[in-house]
């Protein structure tokens, strides 16, 4: 009985071990899943391999460049010597460039003249000719607008060199024209200088123009480099739509701020025959409320102020025009602003009128404009508060040279009331000239104007 129990126990142990081996064998689905996972990992590693190689290569190159810079970096003692000994001479641009600057357009200074490079001492004073290294070779370069940092006035030649901007890959040289100059007697002009690319591709979006002595061409003490203010270089296509600062009277009205070419405001103004800046300013003087109504009631106050602020910077010139009424003559400038009124042979400036009189004159101007004002140009403005025929122009050139001779010439007739001449042939003080103008003076004669021959 004992042997039988032992046999049974061994059989049971054998069965249990076989069950364990069967349970340890993976199922078919598990095998497939693990195979797919392994394949996915392999594909992932193959996809990541080029990226990892590139990252490693860039890090290695960066480390090499950093090491090279450390090798070539000047020692603190050298930097201290360069900073401790400021240059005695420096290059400067006499005037700043005229802005805005567009690609393909010639760069000029603020007075529309060629840029001028000068050699001066460190206090902006002229250097005696005997002390000027001449000739001196200078090159014009383009600088990053962020240089120098914090707008520091003192920079090193090394910092200047590192801030020079070169053209983009595959592009023409960033700046063309007279980039190699020869300073004679401490000055040189740049009559031809043009950008070929805009500044939108660098981080600060601004360039500077710099000038430095050509390295290796000069062995004397350091001459500090010159640079302009930072400015944007815009694409030449934007020049076609640029605003004018200040605008001129003959500019098209879209040259004003906030008015886009062929935009909504431009079309509304054109529909009312307001085509030029002069037309705009005339309407602004005569009836500003109506002008704003033309532009649209939905226009914001900020936009309106921007337009008229820019328009008012326009130079209206010195020309004077006159418009005659039944018993007066209005004196106006080129945008229909009243500058005076003539009545009874006297010219009275607008500033000498009272507030109510100014309001009345403005109303006369408005009525004349609404009735189709006809302006006649005059050569100049007579002396105020002096009778018309007592002005100096009458004594010098006679009645024909008088700026307001049109008024006189168009009179129907004029009469002399002469009381006699003195022994020297001069007219007497009681000489009076009266004009007959039936068309403009129904009474027949304008008031006599006394003649003063002194």
Q: Mean pLDDT check: name the lowest of 59-73, 151-165, 379-393, 438-452.
A: 438-452
Same domain, 221 and 275: no
User: Would residue 370 count as lying in a domain?
Assistant: no
User: Would residue 33 count as lying in a domain?
Assistant: no
Adjacency order of strands within the sheet including 136-144: 180-183, 136-144, 207-213, 226-227
Same domain, 200 and 135: yes
Query: Residue 310 — pLDDT band, cuts 50, 70, 90?
Result: very high
Same domain, 250 and 195: no
What distance in Å separates the CA atoms of residue 408 and residue 334, rounded to the nearest whole number?
22
- Kindly tell me if the per-residue pLDDT of 331 is higher than 80: yes
Mean pLDDT for the chain?
Answer: 75
pTM greater than 0.75 (yes/no): no
Q: How many CB atoms are closer than 10 A to CB 336? A: 23
pLDDT: which is higher, 435 or 375? 375
Backbone angles phi, psi at 323, to 5 degrees: -130, 120
Query: Residue 373 — pLDDT band, cuts 50, 70, 90?
Result: low
Same domain, 187 and 93: yes
What distance in Å separates the CA atoms of residue 274 and residue 312, rounded to the nearest whole number?
16
Strands 89-93 and 223-224: parallel
Query: Residue 451 — pLDDT band, cuts 50, 70, 90?
Result: very low
User: Would residue 271 count as lying in a domain?
Assistant: yes
Over residues 338-343, the mean pLDDT reads: 86
User: Would residue 147 count as lying in a domain?
Assistant: yes
Q: Which is nearest to 154 in space by CA: 214, 60, 240, 83?
A: 83
User: Which range scores top for mean pLDDT: 116-125, 193-202, 359-368, 374-383?
Assistant: 193-202
Contact 250, 277 (CB under 8 A): yes
Residues 407-423: tens digit of each pLDDT: 333 333 333 333 333 44
What distance in Å separates the CA atoms of residue 287 and residue 281, rounded to the nearest whole number?
10
**DSSP helix/strand/coil, 417:** strand
**DSSP helix/strand/coil, 342:** strand
394: exposed, middle or buried (C-beta count within 10 Å: 0-12, 13-18, 19+)?
A: buried
pLDDT: which is higher, 29 or 330? 330
Q: Which is nearest to 65 in space by CA: 57, 77, 54, 76?
A: 57
Q: What is the pLDDT of residue 383?
A: 47
Rg of the Cα trace of the chain? 43
Read off the CATH number of the domain in which 125 is found. Answer: 2.60.40.340
Backbone angles phi, psi at 432, to 5 degrees: -130, 145
**DSSP helix/strand/coil, 236:** helix
What distance in Å separates the CA atoms of residue 373 and residue 366, rounded to the nearest whole number?
9
**DSSP helix/strand/coil, 210:** strand
Over residues 256-280, the mean pLDDT reads: 93
The domain in which residue 402 lies consists of 388-450
Same domain, 216 and 285: no
- Kindly tell me if the per-residue pLDDT of 168 is higher than 50: yes
Q: Mean pLDDT check: name the lowest of 60-64, 241-245, 320-324, 347-351.
A: 60-64
Last residue of a domain, one of 263, 291, 311: 311
Same domain, 169 and 142: yes
Same domain, 217 and 110: yes
Q: What is the pLDDT of residue 401?
A: 31
Same domain, 96 and 162: yes
Over residues 351-379, the mean pLDDT reads: 79
Same domain, 118 and 197: yes
Dihedral angle over CA of 240, 245, 247, 252, nearest 10: 20
Contact 370, 397 (CB under 8 A): no
Query: Half-sphere exposure of residue 306, counting CA atoms within 13 Å on the CB side?
Result: 12
Domain count, the chain: 3
Q: Which is nearest to 269 in space by CA: 302, 295, 241, 251?
A: 295
User: Would residue 420 count as lying in a domain?
Assistant: yes
C-alpha distances out from residue 135 to 3, 109, 188, 190, 242, Å: 125, 24, 10, 16, 40
Same domain, 99 and 211: yes
Q: Which is nearest to 175 in space by CA: 215, 137, 139, 201?
A: 139
Q: What is the pLDDT of residue 25?
A: 60
What distance in Å separates the CA atoms of residue 36 and residue 402, rounded to the nearest whole number?
106
Considering all CA atoms of the chain, what is the largest pairwise distance in Å, rounded to the nearest integer?
184
User: Would residue 418 count as lying in a domain?
Assistant: yes
pLDDT: which is higher, 18 or 421? 18
What distance in Å separates the CA atoms of residue 401 and residue 403, rounded to the nearest whole number?
6
**Would you list the DSSP string of 101-144?**
EETTSPP-BTTSS-EEEEEEETTSPBPPGGGS-SSEEEEEEEEE
What distance in Å separates the CA atoms of residue 347 and residue 256, rounded to the nearest whole number?
35
Element at 19 (helix H, strand E): helix 2-24
217: exposed, middle or buried (C-beta count within 10 Å: 0-12, 13-18, 19+)?
A: exposed
Q: How many CB atoms are closer than 10 A to CB 410? A: 12
Q: What is the pLDDT of residue 117?
A: 96
User: Would residue 40 count as lying in a domain?
Assistant: no
What distance in Å separates the CA atoms of residue 444 and residue 454, rounded to the nearest whole number?
29
Last residue of a domain, one of 209, 237, 265: 237
pLDDT: which is higher, 243 or 23? 243
Same domain, 131 and 211: yes
Last residue of a domain, one of 267, 289, 311: 311
Backbone angles phi, psi at 253, to 5 degrees: -65, -25
Contact 203, 232 (CB under 8 A): no
Same domain, 305 and 408: no
């Amino acid at each position: 009985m004992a042997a039988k129990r032992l046999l049974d126990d061994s059989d049971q142990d054998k069965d249990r071990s076989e069950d364990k081996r069967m349970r340890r064998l993976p199922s078919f689905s598990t095998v497939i899943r693990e195979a797919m996972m392994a394949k996915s990992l392999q594909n992932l590693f193959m996809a990541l391999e080029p990226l990892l190689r590139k990252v490693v290569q860039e890090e290695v190159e960066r480390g090499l460049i950093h090491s090279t810079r450390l090798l070539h970096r000047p020692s603190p003692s050298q930097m201290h010597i360069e900073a401790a000994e400021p240059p005695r001479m420096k290059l400067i641009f006499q005037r700043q460039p005229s802005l805005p600057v567009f690609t393909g357009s010639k760069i000029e200074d603020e007075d529309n003249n060629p840029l001028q490079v000068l050699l001066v001492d460190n206090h902006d004073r002229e250097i005696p000719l005997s002390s000027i290294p001449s000739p001196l070779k200078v090159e014009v370069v383009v600088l990053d607008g962020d240089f120098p940092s914090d707008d520091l006035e003192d920079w090193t030649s090394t910092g200047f060199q590192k801030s020079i901007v070169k053209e983009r890959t595959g592009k023409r040289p960033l700046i063309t024209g007279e980039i190699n100059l020869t300073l004679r007697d401490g000055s040189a002009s740049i009559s031809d200088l043009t950008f070929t690319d805009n500044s939108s591709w660098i981080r600060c979006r601004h360039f500077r123009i710099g000038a430095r002595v050509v390295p290796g061409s000069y062995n004397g003490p350091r001459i500090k480099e010159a640079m302009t203010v930072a400015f944007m270089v815009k694409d030449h296509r934007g020049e076609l739509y640029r605003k004018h600062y200040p605008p001129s009277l003959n500019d098209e009205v879209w040259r004003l701020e906030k008015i886009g070419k062929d935009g909504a405001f431009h079309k509304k103004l054109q529909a009312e025959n307001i085509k030029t800046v002069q037309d705009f300013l005339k309407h602004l003087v005569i009836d500003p409320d109506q002008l704003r109504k033309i532009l649209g009631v939905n226009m914001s106050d900020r936009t309106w102020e921007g337009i008229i602020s820019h328009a008012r910077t326009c130079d209206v010139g010195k020309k004077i025009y006159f418009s005659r009424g039944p018993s007066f003559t209005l004196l106006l400038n080129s945008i229909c602003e009243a500058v005076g009124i003539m009545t009874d042979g006297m010219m009275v400036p607008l500033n000498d009128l009272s507030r109510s009189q100014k309001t009345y004159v403005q109303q006369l101007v408005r009525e004349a404009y609404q009735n189709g004002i006809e302006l006649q140009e005059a050569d100049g403005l007579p002396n105020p508060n002096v009778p018309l025929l007592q002005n100096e122009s009458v004594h010098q050139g006679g009645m024909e040279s008088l700026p307001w001779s049109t008024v006189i010439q168009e009179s129907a007739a004029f009469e002399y009331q002469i009381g006699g001449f003195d022994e020297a042939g001069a007219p007497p003080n009681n000489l009076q000239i009266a004009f007959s103008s039936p068309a403009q003076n129904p009474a027949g004669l304008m008031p006599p104007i006394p003649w003063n021959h002194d």
